[in-house]
Amino acid sequence: MTKRKWTPIFLLLTSVATFTAVSQSKSLNITAEELKKIVRKAAEESANNAVKEVLKKQVTSRKRTDKSTQNLPKKQATTKILRIGSGAIGGNYFVLGELVGGVISHPSGSLPCGAGGSCGIMNLQSQNISSAGSVANLNTLKDKTNQTGFVQSDIAYWAYTGTGLYAKEKKQSNLRAIASLYPEAIHIIVNKEANINTIAKLAGKRVSLGAKKSGTLQGARLVLNAYQITEDKIQARYLNSADSIKALLKGELDAVFFTVGTSSPILNELFKNNDKFTLLSIGNSQRQAIFKQGHYFSPFRIAANTYKGVPETKTISVYALWLTTEKMDEGLVYALTKALWGKPAKHLFKSSLIGHHISIENSLKGIGIPLHSGAKKYYDEIGKRF
């Protein structure tokens, strides 16, 4: 026979039932055996009722807990970081990095598109990485520091083919283009007091050719070579755009080379407040000689009074390209390209002088390297052929 295990609650209920039954048995003349049966039955019923009540309370408590957790904030999705190599702070490429970043980003927790939030790629956050410019940005693509970067079309072509500036280096054959953004004209700014009315007269003058590893420096060398002027025939300085303009204003330079879009804030400010500077044109024969070096160069005319008091200037331009590598995910590049040329992007670009030059019409101009498959997929969809 199995021995019954008496739990504390059962013993307590038995005691209560026994006390009650004994009190009643005295008046009902019930035998002791009958009394035991009544006590045991009453105790078991009381125990069962107590257990049911406990279980009922547990279920009610669980329901309340479930309801309360429904109102807790959901865990936010992980934000993916996309690094864009741009340019010096204050320069066009850095401003461009802010514009493009605003178009493609939509980090987790942002307001919805149309409600004050960005309309970019969900859970993507761009980082605008300042740099010395095109050559530096190519280096960061090569060493995988950045996933994308802005590079002049001529520099991109040379790096991809292992020619020109990169003739002694290994080809960066994994480079791929996402888009061509806007034309960048070679500006040759001179101090009128230096009596320089043609590029040929730069010989012997103090000239900033641009920062080392910059696209401006490479463009300056092309122009000088077209005029058969070597760097040892000028007092060459290698300053970035901001430092070049500062030195020009201080009278420490006679001329500055600057490859940039025509809405450069630095140049607008320079010509707006000074009438002692002007631009030099590149001669027709010299331009033709440069064009023969690659289709990534284009003729460019800076209209009269684009800068206050400066006459029409004939020069050449390259294009600012947005580059990545072939290993970038096709779906991501497709989404980046789509966001770049979407309707919300147009409104944001119009808010900036630089952005005014960014258009789908120019999206494939000056590209001398392959398109990324993700970008090509988007352009094919909208009927643009590369």
pLDDT tens digits, residue range 13-59?
444 444 444 444 444 455 656 545 554 555 455 545 544 554 455 44
Contact 368, 295 (CB under 8 A): yes
pLDDT of residue 17: 45
pLDDT tens digits, residue range 172-213?
999 999 999 999 999 999 999 999 999 999 999 999 999 887
Task: Return the minimum-mean-pLDDT range out of 138-142, 291-295, 313-317, 320-324.
Answer: 291-295
Burial of 131 (0-12, 13-18, 19+ CB in 10 A): buried
pTM of the model: 0.71
Which residue ranges make up each domain of the chain?
8-70, 80-381
Contact 282, 186 (CB under 8 A): yes
pLDDT of residue 336: 98
Protein fold of 80-381: D-Maltodextrin-Binding Protein; domain 2 (3.40.190)
Average pLDDT value for residue range 89-116: 89
At residue 236, the 3 state secondary structure works out as strand
Q: CA-CA distance, 44 to 193, in Å (whole number)?
A: 113
Average pLDDT, the chain: 84
pLDDT tens digits, residue range 237-257?
999 888 999 999 999 999 999
pLDDT of residue 35: 45
pLDDT of residue 272: 87
**Element at 349 (helix H, strand E):** helix 343-350
Say if residue 1's pLDDT is above 50.
no
pLDDT of residue 109: 87
pLDDT of residue 222: 92
What are the structure tokens assigned to 174, written together?
């994994």
Unique residue bearing structure tokens 């300053």: 239
Unique residue bearing structure tokens 């079309």: 153
Buried b (16+ CB within 10 A) or exposed e, 278-300: bbbbbeeebbebbeebbebbeeb
Average pLDDT value for residue range 314-337: 97
Q: Which residues fall within 8 angstroms of residue 134, CB to CB, at 6 or more apart?
A: 150, 151, 152, 155, 156, 214, 215, 218
How many helices and strands, by DSSP H and E, does the chain display? Answer: 12, 12
Residues of the chain with pLDDT > 70, as a percent, come to: 80
pLDDT of residue 301: 96
pLDDT of residue 215: 79
Q: CA-CA distance, 196 to 201, in Å (whole number)?
A: 6
Say if residue 3's pLDDT is above 50.
no
